[in-house]
Chain A
Amino acid sequence: MDRTSFSKWIEQIFATQEREPDCNLFMQILPQYVDLQVSGHDANLHLDEIEAHLRQCVRCSDLYLALYEAALTEVQDEAQPIEILSMEKVERTRTA
Chain B
Amino acid sequence: MTPKRPRSNAVWLADLVGDETSAETLADLREYLLRAVFLYLDRHREDLADLDRRELEQLAEDFTQDALLQVLGALHTFRGESKFTTWAYRFVINVAAGELRLHRWRTLSIEALTGEHELSRSTLLLDYEAPDPEVTAARQRALDAIREIIRDELADRQRFALLNIHFQDMPVEEVARLLDSSPNAIYKLLHDARKKVKQGLQHRHYSETDLLGIFRD
Chain A interface (Cβ within 8 Å of chain B)? 1-3, 6-7, 9-14, 16, 18, 20, 22-24, 27-32, 34-35, 56-57, 59, 62-63, 65-67, 69-71, 73-74, 78, 82-83, 85-88, 90-91, 94
- Given the complex, which residues of B lie within 8 Å of A86, measured CB to CB? 1, 3, 31
CA distance A91 to B194 in the complex (A): 43
CA distance A10 to B111 in the complex (A): 25
- Partner of B125 from the list A1, A18, A63, A91 (CB cut-off 8 Å) is A1
- Given the complex, which residues of A lie within 8 Å of B35, measured CB to CB? 70, 73, 87, 90
Contacts of B80-138 to chain A: CB distance below 8 A: 81-83, 85-87, 89-90, 93-94, 97, 101, 124-127
Check A87–B39 contact: CB distance below 8 A. no
Closest to A25 in B: B184
Chain B interface (Cβ within 8 Å of chain A)? 1, 3-6, 31-32, 34-36, 38-40, 42-44, 53, 57, 79, 81-83, 85-87, 89-90, 93-94, 97, 101, 124-127, 166-167, 171-172, 183-184, 187-188, 190-191, 194-195, 197-198, 201, 207-208, 211-212, 215-217
Interface of A is mostly: helix
CA distance A87 to B124 in the complex (A): 45
